[in-house]
Amino acid sequence: MEKRYLGKSKLEVSALGLGCMTMVNGFEIPETRKEMENIIGRAYDLGVTLFDTAEVYGPYKDETLVGEALKPIRDQVVIATKCGVQIEDGKQVVCTRPEVIRASVEGSLKRLQTDYIDLYYVHRIDPNVPIEEVAGVMKDLHAQGKIRAWGLSEPSVSTIRRANNEFPITAVQSEYSMMWRDLENEYFSVFEELGIGLVPFSPLAKGFLTSGTDGHYHSLAWENTRFSEENMKHNMQLRNLVTRFAEEKQVTPAQISLAWVLAQKPWIVPIPGTTKMHRMEENVGAAAVTLSASELKELGEILDNFTVSGERYTPGSDMAKRVRL
């Protein structure tokens, strides 16, 4: 598989990574856990070298799964994990106080069975802790050899600039797909200016763009109003257009969707997640799909002329309040 550098950094990764968040489901079932480890191993065999997890996934169990699966090939892969979202009284709480980050990194290193983390994200921005202070902690962890690079998830442009001034950022993680392209308006120019890579989660719009034209779609994204009943009738038009385009090119809608993301910039590395072997193999196949200039122009015109109904998160919800800080 093609390799890419995240921005101006020396962090080289596969063009497509593997998001491991949902793999923790069924963690306590040996057969299911082994199946997830097999998917991770097979992804590596197919050329994937970037594997994404977080301490809060599970919570805490997903890192254990990823660490165990990658232990035999640790020096051949790039592990990304995250700090900054804690579990208190059964609820997620954003907290990036320096002592919390330092405790989190030690826990992640232990669960991942490694002595360094390749890419360490701040999972969400804590409005109560100056980002310069957070960047200073990351700089210390880097100097200690505990992390090799760091990044931010769902930050504002202002936060990116302030953090980068203190200690250069390697990557930003955010949603980006055919269905949600807001990053193009302001962020892309900042990424290019500062030499920062983009690692999109939900590059398949939470699976919406993979499901054909049968008019059905069920999402676990409970905060996502794009998939409400009233908005789905309109948004299905986008999926139908993508599906027809894929049929004409004799590939799958998922492969078209991922190939489109990859074609936008050379520093973009999407991390589609799945718990099914055949879906992972299908996604990896997107790296070999080439879109011509005319095909990209056609797809661009389709997307430019389509307005998605609904929001990523319900306005005013906790999830909405955690982004773009």
Residues with catalytic roles: 57
Length of the chain: 325
User: Could you tell me which of 215, 250, 228, 248 has the C-alpha nearest to residue 308?
Assistant: 228
Tokens 């789905």 belong to residue? 232
149: left (phi over 0), alpha (psi -120 to 50) or beta: beta
Here the tokens at position 301 are: 């015109």
H helix or E strand, kind and range, residue 109? helix 98-112
Q: How far is C-alpha 244 from the geometric centre of its chain's CA atoms?
A: 26
Q: How many CA atoms lie within 13 A of 76 on its CB side?
A: 11
Residues 6+ apart with CB under 8 A from 157: 186, 187, 190
> In the chain, where do the E strands start and end?
3-5, 12-14, 18-19, 50-52, 78-83, 85-88, 91-94, 119-122, 150-153, 171-175, 197-201
For residue 70, give Cα distances in angstroms to 77, 108, 168, 188. 8, 14, 27, 32
The residue type at 198:
L
Q: How many CA atoms lie within 13 A of 42 on its CB side?
A: 18
